[in-house]
Amino acid sequence: MRSLRPWLVCLALVAAALPARAQDHLKVVASFSILGDFVRNVGGDRVEVTTLVGPDGDVHVYTPAPADARKIADAKLVIINGLGLEGWLPRLLQSSGSKAPIVTATKGVTPLKFGSDADPHAWQSVANAKTYVVNIRDALGAVAPTDSEVFRVNAESYLAKLDALDREVREAVAQIPPAHRKVISTHDAFGYLAAAYGVEFVAPLGVSTESEASARAIAAIITQIKSSKVSAVFLENISDDRLIRRIAAESGARVGGTLYSDGLTSEKGAAPTYIDMVRHNIKALTSALAN
């Protein structure tokens, strides 16, 4: 028995070293890609961020995989959007057996109404994105207090970038003649952008990315575009774009390109970060609507 002792000491040393290294990277799960980007910006090299719904994924209709339960079970913190966005999440959290705190990044955001529900797409206003960042900063600091100063400094610098981004969006919208600030888009994801910056979005499909528009609904949309003088129709990275192309062809409105609503793209795409996404969208809007 005594001969086992050195091995036990060795194992104890290894075991002591492992958590120390794991502490350097606080494991955080974010429900979808945009939240993951916020967590990366605030957490920097102190966090290891995993997203459940990755780039170009549809967070409304996600089907969790067994690996997702393991990611949550390993995490020290789970960040979600809330406002009813992640309907698939409660069951996943339960099956993971996780005891990690679940933090709602939209806490403190004034929700817009979506019929009788809240509109979950609050990140489409940069002012709201700042609320997300503050909530994420506080959540990270609560779980890893020794790094809270790092999170504070990172958040400060990212919040300054978001302030600059917000100004950029306002200046860009100011270039669009007021009568042209009207577009149609495949799912109603831009209510907060519309409210914050004064661009009107007309949605043909409502909030569900699952629903199919009927022939009668499409005819009604085309009439609507013509009568309300919608200047451009937009595509999204998560919806079937054939419908929008058909509406554009039949109504004479311009196809304004792709707007990114609910997910970032991969590194090589047009919107690998939140700031890239907002810049891309606002550029697509101004170039379609400015003249």
User: What residue ranges bind Zn ion (CB under 5 A)?
Assistant: 189, 262
Greatest Cα-to-Cα distance within the chain, rounded to the nearest angstrom: 89
- Helix (H) or strand (E) holding 135, with range, is helix 126-143
Q: How far is the CB of 261 from Zn ion (least distance, A)?
A: 5
CB closer to Zn ion, 53 vs 93: 53
Phi, then psi, of 228 in degrees rounded to 5: -100, 10
Q: How far is the CB of 284 from Zn ion (least distance, A)?
A: 17
Q: How far is the CB of 236 from Zn ion (least distance, A)?
A: 8
DSSP 20-64: HHHHHSEEEEEEEHHHHHHHHHHHGGGEEEEEEE-TT--TTS---
Q: How far is the CB of 23 from Zn ion (least distance, A)?
A: 36
Q: How far is the CB of 184 from Zn ion (least distance, A)?
A: 16
Are 95 and 120 in contact by the 8 Å Cβ rule? The answer is no
CB closer to Zn ion, 48 vs 262: 262
CB closer to Zn ion, 139 vs 264: 264
CB closer to Zn ion, 86 vs 262: 262
CB closer to Zn ion, 84 vs 257: 84
Lay out the sheet containing 47-53: strands in order across.
47-53, 26-32, 77-80, 102-104
Phi, then psi, of 80 in degrees rounded to 5: -125, 165
